[in-house]
Homo-oligomer: A and B are copies of this chain.
Amino acid sequence: MPTVKLVAEDDPNLQVQRVFTDIKATKKIDRVPNIWRALATHPEHLELCWTRLKAIMRPGKVDLLTKEIIALAVSVTNSCRYCINSHTAATQKLGLDDEMLGEVLAVVGLFNQMNKLADAYQIEPDILPEAARTP
């Protein structure tokens, strides 16, 4: 259970109201998710976090489904229960079926394994990224 009292959706603080309204309008939902209600205990931080997420989670050169897949991959690697739930749901809402979810998670599992093996053997990088290859 939460370590703070979640802020009510109709809390009178003006900054909180502005952000809650924007969250619901942007995400096209009618309930404010728990994470935002907890962050609202510090209205300035709530606003900082929301404006950041809103700016980053817009379709860009990288589309929105790919961004949500990345969010899920990070959340799994970090074992974040709240985020695994919310991003699995978000990817499913954007069209990811069980088979595609399985493909995504197969890659996540594979590289959690490969990362540790690479660290274990303390090998040196061999494939150089672009920055090093261009003169």
A residues in contact (CB < 8 Å) with B: 1-6, 31, 33-35, 37-39, 41-42, 44-45, 48-49, 52-53, 55-57, 60-62, 66-67, 69-71, 73-90, 92, 97-132, 134
Contact = CB atoms under 8 A, between A and B. Distances in A.
A116 B35 contact: no
A103 to B, nearest CB: 5
Contact of A77 (B35, B82, B88, B116): B116
The oligomer's copy count stands at 6
A3 B42 contact: no
Contacts of A6: 123
11 contacts: A1-B122, A2-B131, A3-B89, A35-B121, A38-B117, A45-B103, A56-B107, A56-B110, A71-B111, A112-B112, A112-B113
Given A77-B116, A81-B125, A41 B104 contact: no
B82 A39 contact: no
B99 A134 contact: no
B112 A82 contact: no
A53 B105 CA distance: 13
Nearest to A59: B103
Contacts of A97: 61
A85 B128 contact: yes
A117 to B, nearest CB: 5
